[in-house]
Chains A and B, each alone.
Chain A
Amino acid sequence: MAAEARARRLALRPGLALPALAFLLMLGAIIAAEPRVASYFGLTVLLGFAMPAIFAALAQMAVIAAGDIDLGIGPFLSLVNCIAATWLTDRPAAGLAALAGLVALYAAMGALIHARALPAIVVTLGASFVWLGLAILVLPTPGGAAPAWLAAVAAWRPPLLPLPLLVGLLAGAAAEWLLMRGAYGVVLRGIGGNPRAVARGGWSLLRARMSLYAAAGLAGVLGGLALTGLDTSGDATVGGQYTLVSIAAVIVGGGEFTGGVVSPAGAVLGAFIMLLTGSLLSFLDVSTDWQLSAQGGILILVLAARALRRRGRA
């Protein structure tokens, strides 16, 4: 009975099977083209840059769960990257304080959007220029160096599972636990579905939205740190592409643009899928210049397929 209910709940989760299948197919295609990928070391190299994408996708998912969208997460990763490659190395306490301040700024952004009933798409777009400007102020030209401990973490080779897969598993499980299983997570998703119903349940919408934005800020900081650990230096423009990647990952993973329909596990899978499009193209001898087009194409395909399926059901 309980097992059956659990199986049904999993089946009900918005299209988790599809991104899982897509991920495995893409991985299979790459392994077929280059069998050496199918090793601990091969997977570590192939999937390494999935780590910032995973955190960016989870940050985006937290915002989309509130029924909003975050157009500033990419430049935010850049800003974290610049802070991590300078202050965090030179003055760790100031660096940590700055990163904590960034999380607080994200929560404040959520509060502003709620209190003034502003469209999140505009606020986060404006914020993206603020993040970029701050990043350039912190580090005008690419350079700096990641703290040694951060580079060491990014280069860590855990037993059994390659680091990117381990990070994806842990981050995805944590987000699933908090948002999908946890009692307060239900309230958080509820504000994306029907905020008035949540308010009539006696919950503070302000607190809920701030919690989601703070979670997004935290995930963004982790993503920026992962990026710094991999790059071992700072660059104020390095994160730009992650805005598109994070939105695409959430949608490909089964999330919806509106209505609070999200899937943390799906977002993690979506981040891997977005990363693999680039690798798949290079293994197929297609110029990686096409990577952005391919990622955008996948997004359109997924949305079109979903619209068709919905029409078939109606």
Chain B
Amino acid sequence: MNPQPAEAFARLEGVAKSFGAVRALAGVDLAVPPGRMLGLVGHNGAGKSTLMQILAGALAPDRGSIRIAGRDETRGWDVRRAHGLGVRCVFQELSLCPNLTVAENARIMHPALSGWGWRRRARALMRAALDALFPGHGIDPDRQVGSLPVGQRQMVETARAFSETDTAVRLVILDEPTSSLDAAAAANLLAYTERARARGIACVFISHRLHEILGHADEVVVLRDGQVASASPAAGLSEAALVERMGEVRGEEEPGATAATSRSGARRLSRPARASLGERFGIDVRAGEVVGLSGLAGHGQREFLLAAFAAAGHGGRAAHGEGAVAVHGSAAHVSGDRQNDGIFPLWSIGRNTTIGLIRRLARAGILPLRAEAALAARWREALSIRAPDIETPILSLSGGNQQKVLVARAFATEADLILFDDPLRGVDVGTKRELYHHVRAAAAAGRAFLWYTTENAELVHCDRVYVFARGVVTDQIPRAELTEERVIRASFATPADLSRHGG
């Protein structure tokens, strides 16, 4: 099974783990040789994070054995022991205390940082680690972590994992380490892992960015439904091959093959072009259409979605005057920031689905529970949310399935216009494809979608794309003319360019 049985620094055998009724891992074998990087890919919910938490000592497996450096460590394997043997983990949700400084957070991980002058040593340790990984990071070790932007927090957490006091680092697990780093910092990190490997440090690298995995990992392990679906050298693999091995991709028809809707449906949203800003394109969404919003992140797409939501009569103040958004019909909003703007963490899947409908379901102020449950069950079925039943707490779901619940909530409201705020961020490829399929089906049934996405690949699912730059629509691209190059060009356009090209 394992190509280098004798050499592995860390070896997991037959590791299984269940959370209540949900089986996360069903007997996984994994071997991490020293000085190599193992890429780990799979759906959200395939068991990647659970497996890594077990390897890092943060979770105890139900069954299976853990061998580190040739010794059986299954008994008494916990975070302390893992640290002592040089196993470190950068968790997906950051493990920093926001109320402590960068240096104090180093102390949390290093018991050796104590006694006289520990602060000075902690500061020097973090400064050196940050300098080594992210040259020019500009992070003060005395800054409170809570005051740092999320990208810098990710740098701190990553640098901390590679920092050494009394024990040498032997294995570093990187769970989605580049998701909140900018391109330069991500490149720095990946370059550093090459140098670390040269020193004999093993890495496990989890990412949804398959090109990062293929470009940097030595070996790629694909997890599917809590089992190893394949393990092979990265050389010679293609993204398509990986996606295929992750499996369970339903609705795989070529998106362009769907009949493009004509622009004849009822108008759902409109915003005239704002000439005073040099804008040449108004925004127009009709029933049955999927309309994309693109451009660099933070260039006014999100604000536009919120303005549209407000214009549909959902809180906030609807703008008037030039460039006011007009919405005809009802609207629902799905946020990609599910932790902050989406889920009710203490509630079940069912209640999270139906919350948008409570007012309409209620009879004389009383909620008919059976009707509510039936509705939630129907949407769980429709979007194939993987959970035993709708009473399951939403936090027991993987991130991708939680996101599906939010989409189900929007669908369940039967709103005419659905506003997507990058809802598939950090969701695995399989779930994404399923949702694309559901979006097309809902559009064919007469719904309208306004879909902001940060992934250009998703734009092919849109009938029409508006590109934003500095809050202004700089291009309107019908699907037939959509190219990545045109999107990128429009993303970097300035009003001066517009007037020059537009004549």
| Interface residues of A, Cβ cutoff 8 Å to B | 5, 8-9, 12, 181, 183-184, 186-187, 189-190, 192-194, 196-203, 259-261
Contacts and interface: CB of A to CB of B under 8 A. Distances in A.
Given A186-B107, A201-B79, A259 B95 contact: no
A183 B96 contact: no
Contact of B95 (A184, A200, A261): A200
B345 interface: no
B111 A202 contact: yes
Nearest to B91: A200
Contacts of B119: 181
Given A8-B142, A12-B142, A199-B79, A260 B107 contact: no
Contacts of B98: 193-194, 259
12 contacts: A12-B143, A12-B144, A183-B114, A186-B107, A186-B108, A190-B105, A192-B99, A197-B94, A201-B79, A259-B98, A259-B99, A259-B146
A197 B80 CA distance: 13
Given A186-B108, A260-B97, 13 more contacts: A183-B113, A184-B114, A186-B100, A189-B99, A189-B104, A190-B105, A193-B99, A196-B95, A197-B94, A200-B91, A201-B109, A202-B80, A260-B99
B113 A202 contact: no
Given A183-B115, A200-B58, A189 B97 contact: yes
Interface of B: 56, 58, 78-80, 83, 89, 91, 94-100, 104-105, 107-109, 111, 113-115, 118-119, 142-144, 146
B142 A5 contact: yes
A235 to B, nearest CB: 38
Contacts of A8: 142
A192 B108 CA distance: 13
B142 A9 contact: yes
Nearest to A6: B142
A143 B163 CA distance: 61
- 5 A-B pairs with least C-beta separation: A193-B97, A202-B80, A193-B99, A183-B114, A197-B95
Contacts of B146: 193, 259
B10 to A, nearest CB: 18
Contacts of A261: 99
A5 B103 CA distance: 13
Contacts of B107: 183, 186-187
B78 A202 contact: yes
Nearest to B80: A202
B118 A183 contact: yes
Contacts of A192: 99
A186 B118 CA distance: 11
A228 B78 CA distance: 48
A194 B96 CA distance: 7
B95 A194 contact: yes
A199 B78 CA distance: 10
B233 to A, nearest CB: 32
Contacts of A259: 98-99, 146
Contacts of A181: 119
A260 B96 CA distance: 13
Q: In terms of DSSP, what is the predominant structure of the interface of chain B?
A: loop
Given A8-B142, A200-B79, A202-B83, A193 B111 contact: no
Nearest to A192: B99
B169 to A, nearest CB: 15
A180 to B, nearest CB: 10
Contacts of A203: 108
A198 B115 contact: no
A64 to B, nearest CB: 11
A197 B115 contact: no
A189 B108 CA distance: 10
Contacts of A189: 97, 99-100, 104
Contacts of B108: 186-187, 190, 197-198, 201, 203
Q: Which of A187, A190, A197, A203 has the most CB of B within 10 A?
A: A197
Contacts of B83: 202
Nearest to A262: B99
A186 B142 contact: no
Contacts of B118: 183
Nearest to A259: B99
A50 to B, nearest CB: 27
Nearest to B112: A183
Contacts of B89: 200
B85 to A, nearest CB: 12
Contacts of B114: 183-184
B173 to A, nearest CB: 12
B195 to A, nearest CB: 26
A298 to B, nearest CB: 24
A200 B157 CA distance: 12
Contacts of B143: 12
Contacts of B96: 194, 197
Contacts of B58: 199-200
B145 to A, nearest CB: 8
Contacts of B104: 186, 189-190
B119 to A, nearest CB: 8
A260 B105 CA distance: 14
Contacts of B91: 200
A170 B215 CA distance: 59
| Residue among B80, B108, B143 with most chain A CB within 10 A | B108
Contacts of A187: 107-108
Contact of B97 (A12, A183, A197): A197
A15 B455 CA distance: 42
A195 B174 CA distance: 21
B337 to A, nearest CB: 16
Contact of B100 (A184, A190, A196, A202): A190
Nearest to B107: A186
Contacts of A9: 142
Contacts of A194: 95-98
A164 to B, nearest CB: 30
Given A12-B142, A183-B107, A202-B80, A190 B113 contact: no
Nearest to B108: A201
Nearest to A256: B99
